[in-house]
Structure 1
């Protein structure tokens, strides 16, 4: 179902972020190199260093033709993919930014990170609209419900906090993980929320009430990413245990383990980020070993 196709070895330091561009077959990676790198899936090759940045990059987020770059410094930059220019740089937080998301129906951008606050920005002029304290320590990840009515925050204090997107009021706090929550993703059809943690467990929360449906002992160490396939009922997880796992999104059956031990090829250190290509043909992974790996997907 997933097999190793290519390894890119251009980075000199750990890599934390991946994102597809607005051009089919192109994606970007970034980390401690202080540069955002462009790669081609069509040619399976390095393209160029797309953007120099001032500090380490912990997250990348694209909305339409704009790329948002979240930095260790607490600032984020806005890069216009059409003009290849930085159009804004905002000193958003006093500590590193770990996640950035957009709320399309409100035309808003959200940033969060180590200071525990969530800042809301206008996508028109990148001015701050609102700021609220979600936790008194790190907020590691954000997940936006597909209907954009609710938003989930994964926190270092072991909690998942659910907020209403209409007014950013707290709806409820989910207690289940025993260690910091490090990954979150809503099912594409809003069937459930799935969370991953430093406790190495996946938890499935039913919607709309967020009752705990199932706990899966998924990995050996921290689960850093949960990525749903763009059009088929699968999701992948990546972990500090150097493995990627492919799961059935309907019954949570484990289909595939990608690791050096199981597949003979894989990452040698923590896998910090995974994404699917826009067409779903490839899974892309990266991490502390400085490598970007391409895995070809076949449903058969």
Structure 2
């Protein structure tokens, strides 16, 4: 395996916390502690374009493909719906005084994970609250959707992962998953497995088709794992850590294939917060506390 650094995108004035896809394969969005929401072009490096500015840090953005709108979670305030083409806010909702950690879409539902332990369900079209899910007093940190089993997985700072029914919103299962906060949850592309990771630096693989039995428990990093994501073809898995590294894994065997760090690949100098594996030439994007975004070619 060869990992090559293609570009570094600079322009954010503080830590970059979140990334999401854009309307075109070569486009993506970023945001972070500076409240700037930026659109980038992978085919025109460092042509960053400011599409919105909010007066607080942003941990979560999500591009809603059907409407073409970017949902921006402004911490301690609420949600802003931005039309990136016009660079205009088209709707907003004063949702919470808590931090917003994750946003996910399913049919006409939008799920929002909050630092007060609530998962808010909104009607996506009307931008109104449908329901509040409250199963913990600790932060709801990460969301993952399984449309096959019609389940929603939520990782919490109380060390647990909770599984909800996507149709009825009922709590189906509580998994005592980790020994510390769960920062990231993701179903495998075939939805057979749920992968979880967090502050305890363990990567865990759960059998979603068989009562969520634990299949793998891997000491994957030296410090907290902030995010994990799969390659577009589902063959590879990437994890990002507070230990400043990105690791590439075989998604079938969960064998470590490559460590991407500062010493060997001119990687990030501080915590790697978020990953986005794009459909544009399968380029991997990473965002960091060092205020930069790196673009990687994995072959």
TM-score when normalising by structure 2: 0.95
Query: What secondary structure is seen at the aligned counterpart in 1 of 2:48?
Result: strand
Q: CA deviation at 1:244?
A: 0.2
Deviations 1:8-49 (A, max 9, x none): 221110010111110231111111112101211001122311
- The answer to whether 1:114 aligns with 2:115 is yes
User: Quick one: distance in 1 between partners of 2:160 and 2:277?
Assistant: 27
Q: CA deviation at 1:146?
A: 4.1
- The answer to whether 1:9 aligns with 2:48 is no
| Paired residues for 1:1-300 under 5 Å | 1-64=2-65, 65-104=68-107, 107-147=108-148, 149-208=150-209, 209-261=211-263, 263-298=264-299
Q: CA deviation at 1:279?
A: 3.1
Deviations 1:201-236 (A, max 9, x none): 000000221001110000011101111111141110
In structure 2, the gaps of 5 or more residues are: none
Query: What secondary structure is seen at the aligned counterpart in 2 of 1:295?
Result: strand
Q: Is the 8 A contact 2:238 2:247 kept in 1?
A: yes
Q: Is the 8 A contact 1:146 1:189 kept in 2?
A: no
Distance change >3 Å, CA 264–CA 234, structure 1 → 2: closer
User: Quick one: distance in 2 between partners of 1:294 and 1:247?
Assistant: 18
**RMSD over aligned Cα, in angstroms?**
1.3
Q: Is the 8 A contact 1:231 1:280 kept in 2?
A: no
User: Quick one: distance in 1 between partners of 2:30 and 2:163?
Assistant: 29
Q: CA deviation at 1:281?
A: 2.1
Query: What secondary structure is seen at the aligned counterpart in 2 of 1:94?
Result: coil
Deviations 1:162-203 (A, max 9, x none): 111111111111113111101110001111000001000000
Q: Is the 8 A contact 2:188 2:195 kept in 1?
A: yes
Query: What secondary structure is seen at the aligned counterpart in 1 of 2:158?
Result: coil
Query: What secondary structure is seen at the aligned counterpart in 2 of 1:3?
Result: strand
Q: Is the 8 A contact 1:26 1:38 kept in 2?
A: yes
Q: Is the 8 A contact 2:188 2:234 kept in 1?
A: no
User: Quick one: distance in 1 between partners of 2:251 and 2:70?
Assistant: 29
Give the length in aligned residue pairs.
Answer: 295
User: Quick one: distance in 1 between partners of 2:114 and 2:154?
Assistant: 10
Q: Is the 8 A contact 1:38 1:50 kept in 2?
A: yes
User: Quick one: distance in 2 between partners of 1:24 and 1:170?
Assistant: 36
Q: CA deviation at 1:96?
A: 0.7
User: Quick one: distance in 2 between partners of 1:186 and 1:55?
Assistant: 30
